[in-house]
């Protein structure tokens, strides 16, 4: 099996666990946060900066890379690791979600999806076979089954969700059959079912039958209210096999991550740190700063006083960052994205420490941004740990 998952520590007060995932390109500890390198680059950041910020595994999108430069284009340049100059672990998303959220869909049936390329308008066909072919060519360490990710608006609308769930199961079988590199690429299945918990249970039963090296919860954080994200994650994650990595796709804010970890989740990806970073929104342990705001004009402080990221430790003041955003200078998005990624990696480090030390209340103290319930400080720890 191309992926080894070892549980290193478990929490006494929840289903949280610390794990180690070994891949052909190195290992990483879980719970882990994956920055998003949509088109084979985390916007504005070089691999060595990501590594210094704490990144150990990246997510890239099969959907975007198949359009430009094409999976075969990446293959000609030595595969995705060499293409991106990122020697560590990589996960590719299958394109199921992107097709429904981004593409101009021409037709969708059991065979697959045909959509118009946003790049040049040509018709592109995507199916479980084609998605896996693309992901085999890209060569990521973890690849995702091709799923039918029903839009959230269809949530209550009759049988669209059920059909998506059933199709996802059929497409999982075809994804497995199409996979040509099981020796060095771990295929994860994706559980669908929207906000319908019965469907979620049925999806878990169908998907987890496959005996795969890992499982993901898809179709969350696709527009539904936060309490629904939480409800679906808390219900679904514990149903997944405990001896395999559990990946909650596209989540999320700090409190969502902590809640999912306590439900037993191990992996997360989200565009929040980079998307918000590009808009001048900085994450801190006390909440977000909107650095374009005039109140930062003469603020000599770093984004966060005790942060060791290269933005905060590098001497860049809030006033200077505001100047970079007001003048449209690239360095603003770069520096704030880097801080934000570091913020999420620090959260994961603190979470792993909280699990190892059975000390969720110290996490809640270090992260006032997490509200009491989600930070888990209702769970009193006996081995409290000062920050």
Under the binding rule (CB under 8 A), the answer on residue 329 touching its own copies is: yes
Q: Which stretch binds its own copies (CB under 8 A): 148-156, 180-188, 215-223, 323-331?
A: 323-331
Residue pair 130/144 in contact by the 8 Å Cβ criterion: no
Q: What is the C-alpha to C-alpha distance for residues 353 and 356, in angstroms, rounded to an integer?
A: 5
Stretch that binds its own copies, among 82-90, 106-114, 154-162, 199-207 (CB under 8 A): 82-90
- Closer CB to its own copies, 34 or 312, in the complex: 312
Stretch that binds its own copies, among 13-21, 72-80, 218-226, 369-377 (CB under 8 A): 72-80
Tokens of 354: 């909280």
Q: Which residues, other chains included, contact 12 with Cβ-Cβ below 8 Å and sequence gap of 6+? A: 358
Question: Of 147, 230, 269, 358, which residue is the catalytic one?
Answer: 269
Select 46 or 271, whichever has its Cβ closest to its own copies.
Answer: 46
| 290 contributes a contact to its own copies by CB under 8 A | no
Residue 59 DSSP SS3: strand
Query: 210: Cβ–Cβ under 8 A, 6 or more apart, which residues?
Result: 172, 173, 176, 189
Q: Is residue 262 within 8 Å of residue 16, measured between CB atoms? A: yes
> What does the alpha-carbon distance between residue 252 and residue 184 come to, in Å, rounded to a whole number?
29
DSSP string, 272-310: HHHHHHHTTEEEETTEEEETTSGGGTT--S-SSTT--SH
Q: Which C-beta is closer to its own copies: that of 30 or that of 61?
A: 61
Residue 93 Rama label (left phi>0; alpha psi -120 to 50; beta)? beta
- Applying CB under 8 A, among 7, 85, 157, 197 the residue interacting with its own copies is 85
Q: Does 316 bind its own copies (CB under 8 A)?
A: yes
Active site residue 384: no
231 touches its own copies (CB under 8 A): no
Q: Is 310 a binder of its own copies (CB under 8 A)?
A: yes
Q: Which is closer to its own copies, CB of 276 or CB of 359?
A: 276
Task: Kindly state the smallest distance separating residue 271's Cβ from its own copies, in Å.
Answer: 14
Helices (H), ranges, the chain: 47-53, 62-67, 71-76, 80-84, 96-102, 128-138, 160-178, 197-208, 226-236, 254-262, 272-278, 310-313, 318-326, 331-356, 360-366, 372-375
Report, in Å, the least distance between residue 250 CB and its own copies: 21
Say which of 11, 93, 350, 358 is annotated catalytic: 93
Q: Give the nearer residue to its own copies in terms of CB position, either 90 or 251.
A: 90
Stretch of 37-45, 104-112, 215-223, 254-262 contacting its own copies, by CB under 8 A: 37-45
Distance separating alpha carbons of residues 239 and 249, to the nearest angstrom: 16
End-to-end CA distance of the chain, in Å? Answer: 39
For its own copies, which residue of 44, 95, 206, 213 counts as binding (CB under 8 A)?
A: 44
Nearer to its own copies, 322 or 374 (CB): 322
Residue 350 is a catalytic residue? no
Contact 130, 62 (CB under 8 A): no
CB 67 within 8 A of CB 5: no
From candidates 28, 63, 83, 247, binder to its own copies by CB under 8 A: 83
Residue 295 near its own copies by CB under 8 A? no
Q: Does 39 bind its own copies (CB under 8 A)?
A: yes
Does position 297 interact with its own copies (CB under 8 A)? The reply is yes
**Nearer to its own copies (CB atom), residue 265 or residue 321:** 321
The correct pick among 45, 150, 187, 229 for binding its own copies (CB under 8 A) is: 45
Total residues contacting its own copies by CB under 8 A comes to 40
Q: What is the DSSP letter of 154?
A: G
Q: What residues make contact with its own copies under the rule CB under 8 A?
A: 39-41, 43-48, 68-69, 73, 76-78, 82-85, 297-298, 300, 310, 314-317, 319-320, 322-324, 326-327, 329-331, 333-335
């Amino acid at each position: 099996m191309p992926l080894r998952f070892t549980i290193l520590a478990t929490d006494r007060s929840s289903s949280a666990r610390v794990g180690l995932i070994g891949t052909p390109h190195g290992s990483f500890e879980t719970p882990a946060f994956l920055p998003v390198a949509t088109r084979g680059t985390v916007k504005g950041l070089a691999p060595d900066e990501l590594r210094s910020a704490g990144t150990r595994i990246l997510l890239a999108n099969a959907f975007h890379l198949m359009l430009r430069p094409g999976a075969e284009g990446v293959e000609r340049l030595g595969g995705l690791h060499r293409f991106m100059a990122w020697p560590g672990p990589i996960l590719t998303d299958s394109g199921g979600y992107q097709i429904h959220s981004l593409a101009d869909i021409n037709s969708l049936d059991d065979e697959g999806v045909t959509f118009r390329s946003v790049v040049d308008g040509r018709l592109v066909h995507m199916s479980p076979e084609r998605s896996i072919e693309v992901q085999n060519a890209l060569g990521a360490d973890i690849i995702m089954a091709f799923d039918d990710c029903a839009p959230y608006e269809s949530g209550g609308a009759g049988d669209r969700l059920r059909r998506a769930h059933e199709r996802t199961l059929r497409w999982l079988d075809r994804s497995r059959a199409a996979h040509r590199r099981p020796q060095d690429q771990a295929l994860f299945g994706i559980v669908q079912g929207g906000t319908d918990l019965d469907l979620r249970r049925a999806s878990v039963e169908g998907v987890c039958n496959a005996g795969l090296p890992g499982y993901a919860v898809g179709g969350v954080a696709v527009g539904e209210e936060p309490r629904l994200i939480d409800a679906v994650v808390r219900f679904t994650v514990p149903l997944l096999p405990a001896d395999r990595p559990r990946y909650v796709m596209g989540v999320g804010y700090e409190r969502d991550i902590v809640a999912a970890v306590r439900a037993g989740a191990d992996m997360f990806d989200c565009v929040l740190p980079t998307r918000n970073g590009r808009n001048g929104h900085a994450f801190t342990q006390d909440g977000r700063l909107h650095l374009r705001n005039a109140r930062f004009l003469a603020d000599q402080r770093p984004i966060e006083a005790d942060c060791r990221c290269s933005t905060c430790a590098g001497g860049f003041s809030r006033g200077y960052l505001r100047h970079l955003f007001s003048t449209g200078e690239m360095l603003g998005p770069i520096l704030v994205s880097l801080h934000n990624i570091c913020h999420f990696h620090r959260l994961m480090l603190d979470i792993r420490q909280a699990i190892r030390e059975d000390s969720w209340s110290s996490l809640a103290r270090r992260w006032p941004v997490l509200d009491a319930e989600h930070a888990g400080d209702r769970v009193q720890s006996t081995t409290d740990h000062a920050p």
